[in-house]
Structure 1
Amino acid sequence: MTTVPTRRFRQLATVHSRRNEPMTEVDQLQDLIRSFLRDPFGATGEQAPGWIPAADIEETDDAYILELDVPGLKREDVNIELRDSEVRVTGELKEKERTGLLRRQTRRVGQFEFGITLPGDINPDRVDATLRDGVLTVRLGKATASQPRQVEVKD
């Protein structure tokens, strides 16, 4: 059996010292992968968003319901854009002013972006959004053609 030398990174030492925060590294890695997939060479010239909020997408008979976790977000700091069946939510969680020395920060701040293409068309007249308890809920009504309907079978 041959042993292959491996290169250790300095960052690994910090991972072991934060044993009670394993998901922080997983979240950071997921954001890095998403960022790379959006712009693999960093050549777009526009600044990439800092992070992507956790989201749930539910489909009902008449709507798609998008829920984004954005604790601390204010209404005026979010933008929702619709184009055909695409939804794009962008915004910024502003860092609060502090009077003391910040010893540790694990809350996400800065610009964020979430985008998705839904499987059906959206009726732009049946879209609304609410922000409660740190959750942005966007209800996107389906276009009439996208809604399921019962078909009667005849003899």
Structure 2
Amino acid sequence: MFFAPTLRTARFAPRSYDRAFERFVNEAFTGAHRSPLVEQDDKSWTLSVDVPGLSREDLTIGIEGAVVRIDSKAEAKRQFKAAYELPQDIDVGTSEARLENGVLTLKLGKKVPVSQVSELQIS
């Protein structure tokens, strides 16, 4: 068996490695696996996450690319932190969040990928 140490730099560390580590740490320190209920259609994803005891003012939702982060504020009665990575980037303009009876429902719009293809003329 051959062992070779690896260097983890921004250039060589894939995003999935960071997300896998983040999920591991979240699950290890919270003691429970919080898996949201996810539904999907052609234009959006719908995530339902249980957040009992938290109000609208206690939560912040951040979207960066294909990652959704849900955090409770420091002064909240109960602490909550979760991050979910979706397979495609999220369109913030068509997304919405609703909190009813301790269930946070996020309707996240799918961002339509824009082609960056340029034509090269043959001479």
2:24 aligns with 37
Structure 1 residues 134-153: Cα deviation after superposition (integer angstroms, max 9, x where no partner): 1100111001239xxxxxxx
Equivalent AA in structure 1 for residue 113 of structure 2: A
Q: Distance in 2 between matches of 1:91 and 1:74?
A: 9
1:119 aligns with 87
Structure 1 residues 22-48: Cα deviation after superposition (integer angstroms, max 9, x where no partner): xxxxxxxxxxxx989228xxxxxxxx6
Identity of paired residues, percent? 34
1:150 aligns with none
Q: Structure 1-normalised TM-score?
A: 0.50
Give the paired residue count: 90
Q: Distance in 2 between matches of 1:87 and 1:36?
A: 13
Q: Structure 2-normalised TM-score?
A: 0.61
User: Is the 1:52–1:112 Cα contact (8 Å) retained in structure 2?
Assistant: no
Equivalent AA in structure 2 for residue 73 of structure 1: L
Q: Distance in 2 between matches of 1:131 and 1:79?
A: 12
Q: Distance in 2 between matches of 1:62 and 1:113?
A: 26
Q: Distance in 1 between matches of 2:33 and 2:80?
A: 5
> 1:49 Cα shift?
6.4
Larger Rg: 1
Does 1:75 pair with 2:56? yes
2:100 aligns with 132
Matches within 5 A, 1:51-130: 53-91=34-72, 94=77, 110-130=78-98
Larger strand proportion, structure 1 or 2?
A: 2
Matched residue SS, 1:141: strand
